Amino acid sequence: MSIVPKQHFNKSNMNLFRPDVDRVAGYIPGEQPQESGWVKLNTNENPYPPSPQVVEAIAEAAGGRLNVYPDPLATRFRRRAAELLDVDPDWILPANGSDENLTILIRSFVDPGELVSYPYPSYTLYKTLAELQGAEHEQLPLNADWSWNYQLAEPIVERSKLVFVPNPNSPSGNLWSNDDISRLIPRRGILVLDEAYVDFSDAALGIKMLSCEAGNRIVITRTLSKSYSLAGMRFGFAIACPELIFGMRKVKDSYNCNALSLAAAVAALEDIPWMQRNVQNIQNTRVHLTGQLERLGFDVVHSQANFVWATHSNRLHKVIYESLKQRRILVRYMHFYDKMSTDTPEIDGLRITVGTDSEIDRLLQALEIIV
């Protein structure tokens, strides 16, 4: 490789970017301290390791033929996922993490100037993706108890080309029913049901909606990052009718999933009991965490995810977050500057990932002192 002098250009002819890109601040991922010793409850990672079968499958694939391209159609993975979900493989589109599928969706369906909507507060990436695409974007109003304000939301849904709805939602962790969701399918657009956290809920019913009347305008996205303990692996998949999957496939890079993540994903879906055991542990810890937070004076939304949304009526959330951070415990402090609806106040709070029992004990001990 050759040599170029270390130098920086400070010339200001950098207005070559698309104005939409210039304007975007960019999505800011949660803090990722690189040293050990932290209790990390800020980015909704699963505290348990993935199945040993996954680790074996990766090692085997690494010793295989990495010099050749992976299967661009992800045939083995799609077959396995299809079996589990009882659909045909044509209903499955794997991606390099669920984030990539969200990007593919917006690039597939939304032209500049068309409307993208999503509940507020929810995953902040939806807005960033809409901005990058040059799309219009609007927030779908929720009530203070995280139920839908349909009177305000439905007219926006009707004008939308694409609606993102995470279910369970983040940061709240609540799960909306299929009846709720069915009112959010735009008549001339796509509903994306982002089910990143659905395995932590009592019932994953969203997929039933694919067979409803409007099911061919619904795309469900899933990820192996959370319930399958594979955030480091980057693997997600979309489920939708073949006509939608066919078009989305044209937008993705041909070889978007590498040989190792494909092998890992197949192995992960072949060890469902391992995933379910970890999910059960997290659900148990969630009950404990919720009860103890309430005892300490927090209001906690009934969570169906691997995190809880906690607010305290007479302590400053930012101060609690900072005090925890001083003790090397990271939770996510979130402040939402817009209102959920016209009649709700501005909110902030703490989103706390459900870690192991011992991590949660350390958190609770610290909170006993702080609040």
Q: How far apart are CA 368 and CA 371, in angstroms?
A: 6
User: Cα-flanking dihedrals φ and ψ of residue 275, to 5°?
Assistant: -60, -45
Question: Strand pairing partners for 162?
Answer: 116, 190
Question: Strand pairing partners for 300?
Answer: 310
Here the tokens at position 230 are: 């594979």
Instruction: Single out the segment in contact with its own copies by CB under 8 A; choices: 47-55, 291-299, 322-330, 332-340.
Output: 47-55
In angstroms, give the least distance from the CB of 362 to its own copies.
18
Number of residues that bind its own copies (CB under 8 A): 110
What SS3 class is residue 234? coil
66 lies in the binding site for its own copies (CB under 8 A): yes
Beta strands in 55-161 (DSSP E): 92-95, 115-119, 136-140
189 lies in the binding site for its own copies (CB under 8 A): yes
In angstroms, give the least distance from the CB of 134 to its own copies.
8
Nearer to its own copies, 246 or 297 (CB): 246
User: Could you give the count of Cα atoms lying within 13 Å of 151 in the half-sphere of its Cβ?
Assistant: 4
205 lies in the binding site for its own copies (CB under 8 A): yes
Question: Strand pairing partners for 148?
Answer: 142
In angstroms, give the least distance from the CB of 16 to its own copies.
6
In angstroms, give the least distance from the CB of 3 to its own copies.
5
38 lies in the binding site for its own copies (CB under 8 A): no
Here the tokens at position 202 are: 């009592």
335 lies in the binding site for its own copies (CB under 8 A): no
**Interface pattern 107-126 for its own copies (x via CB under 8 A):** xxxxxx--------------
Selected binder of its own copies within 39, 238, 244, 308 (CB under 8 A): 244
- Note every long-range contact of 202-211, with CB atoms under 8 Å and residues 24 or more positions apart, other chains counting: 202/175, 202/304, 203/175, 205/177, 205/178, 206/167, 206/178, 206/181, 207/85, 207/239, 208/178, 209/178, 209/181, 209/182, 210/87, 210/91, 210/239, 210/240, 210/241
In angstroms, give the least distance from the CB of 62 to its own copies.
4
Nearer to its own copies, 51 or 303 (CB): 51
In angstroms, give the least distance from the CB of 43 to its own copies.
6
Residue 59 region by backbone torsions, left for phi larger than 0, else alpha for psi between -120 and 50, else beta: alpha
In angstroms, give the least distance from the CB of 153 to its own copies.
20
171 lies in the binding site for its own copies (CB under 8 A): no
69 lies in the binding site for its own copies (CB under 8 A): yes
Footprint of its own copies on residues 253-312 (CB under 8 A)? 253-261, 264
In angstroms, give the least distance from the CB of 71 to its own copies.
7
Footprint of its own copies on residues 212-241 (CB under 8 A)? 215-217, 225, 229-234, 241
Enumerate helices (H) and strands (E) in the chain, giving the number of each: 12, 12
Instruction: Single out the segment in contact with its own copies by CB under 8 A; choices: 27-35, 292-300, 313-321, 362-370.
Output: 27-35
User: Cα-flanking dihedrals φ and ψ of residue 64, to 5°?
Assistant: -85, -140
